[in-house]
Structure 1
Amino acid sequence: MRILLLRHGETAGNLEKRYVGRTDEGLTEAAIQALRQTSEKRKQLLYGLLGPVAAVYASPMRRCLETAALVFPEKDFSGVHVRLVPGLSECDFGRFEYKNYRELSGDADYQRFIDSGGTDGFPGGEAVAQFKRRCADAFRQEVRTLTEKTDGTAVFVIHGGSIMAVLEAFGRPEREYYSWQTGCLSGYLCRTGEENGHFCLTDVAEISII
């Protein structure tokens, strides 16, 4: 079956290049209005790309729930209800939460994180390896409830970091975590598959719905 991994719409923190993890902010008013004004055009685009939508999953954070409600409204996708997946929430950035690189400039912990190539973890927050494992496990658990016979596409409206974690774990051909970065209201369309007896995602193609 097909899977769409879609990053949520833009927030104020995204515009200011902040580490937005557990801060539960919603979409900007501009993002909401843009989605409302292009709803009919986007609906046709999604039907063409996805075919029938079999299921919609979302992180429980406001930015993902608002995006899911605007992009996949029940009036257009009847019978499809958003299912919350807490395990696909964004990383806990600890002391870096809602700060940007300007505010963190000169911070020894932040410099260590940069020097490690983004693998050193977040002081007072979540270890990067733990975050990646959490997202991969939560995604795989939800996909197990679906089958290759499921008609249509399963949509996951989640976070940039969560998408990178899922695709680093399952995307084929394999690529490193940061190479899977994507913008707001963009993401990846792929298919479930199997490689050497293990679950994977194939035919991965980057898409944007704006």
Structure 2
Amino acid sequence: MTRLIFIRHGKTGGNLRGAYIGRTDEPLCDEGKSELEAKMFPEADIVISSPMKRCVQTADIIYNKLPIRIYDNLRECDFGDFEGKNYSELNGNADYQAWIDSGGTMQFPNGEGHTDFTDRCCRAFLQAVSENEGKTIAFIVHGGTIMSVLERFAEPKKGYYDYMVKNGCGFLTEFSDGSIRAIKEI
């Protein structure tokens, strides 16, 4: 059994605006840093992070005594034409409405598709777990990354959006026999 800690990165300026921030490499905002510094997190043996600044900075704040291992394919989804925009900026956009009507499953215009994104994240997740089996692994990643991995591997099965998590929050879980179980919010 391998213990897993999934933590969504701290807040960024884009998060404060409610914007879709995927490929944009934003740093944490001051509020995001303060919130992380004020919170206690479970101990880990290994820290694995998306390469994005917001994740690396979060990992450094929470687990500053441990080296950070970067897994490129744990980065957030490419939101394409929606990148950097929020609901009010996209309201009335036909492509955005089509995406909403699809339940958030269709490919972002000029961006990444849900299946491709989920497959990419899950491959990186399995690689990280196989390389660190039996340890407590902290994944400092994005909301979409967490949702993708838990939708695919968590038992009992739930939908992608059932695993939404706020900035600086996440889940403490166990991974064995190809499934994630004993999910507790942190």
TM-score interval, normalised by the smaller of the two chains: over 0.9
Q: Deviation per CA, 1:10-37: give whole Å up to 9, x if none.
A: 011111110000111111112223444x
Greater C-alpha radius of gyration: 1
Q: Is the 8 A contact 2:10 2:35 kept in 1?
A: no
Give the Å deviation of 1:147: 2.1
Shift of the alpha carbon at 1:121?
1.4
- Correspondence 1:61 to 2:88: no
Give secondary structure in 1 for the equivalent of 2:131: coil
Task: Give 5+ residue unaligned stretches, structure 1.
Answer: 75-79
C-alpha contact (below 8 Å) 2:35/2:168 kept by paired residues: no
TM alignment of 1:165-180, pairs within 5 A? 165-180=148-163
User: How many residues get paired?
Assistant: 185
Equivalents in 2 of 1:103, 1:157: separation in Å? Answer: 29
Question: C-alpha offsets along residues 109-162 of structure 1, whole Å, 9 cap, x if unaligned?
Answer: 1110000110111000001110011001110011011223x3xx2100000000
Structure 2 match to 1:89: 75
Q: 1:186 aligns with which of 169, 179, 184?
A: 169
Aligned equivalent of 2:133: 147
Identity of aligned residues (%): 42
Kindly indicate whether the alpha-carbon contact (under 8 Å) linking 2:121 and 2:145 is maintained by their aligned counterparts in 1: yes
1:23 is matched with 24
The SS at the match of 2:96 is: helix
Instruction: Give the AA of the match of 1:86.
Output: D
1:161 maps to which of 144, 165, 170: 144
> 2:73 aligned with 1:71, yes or no?
no
Q: Following the alignment from structure 1 to structure 2, what is the Cα–Cα distance between the partners of residues 102 and 176? A: 26
Cα distance in 2 for residues equivalent to 1:34 and 1:205: 20
Instruction: Return the match for 1:203 from 174, 179, 182.
Output: 182
Does residue 100 (structure 1) correspond to residue 86 (structure 2)? The answer is yes
Aligned to 1:33, the other structure's residue is in SS state helix
The residue type equivalent to 2:117 in the other structure is F
**In 2, Cα distance between equivalents of 1:103 and 1:121:** 19
Gaps of 5+ in 2: none
SS class of match (2:99): helix
Cα root mean square deviation, aligned: 1.2
Matches of 1:30 and 1:115, distance apart in 2: 33
Pair 1:111-2:111 in alignment: no
Counterpart CA distance in 2 for 1:147 and 1:84 is 17
Q: What TM-score does the superposition give when structure 2 sets the normalisation length? A: 0.95
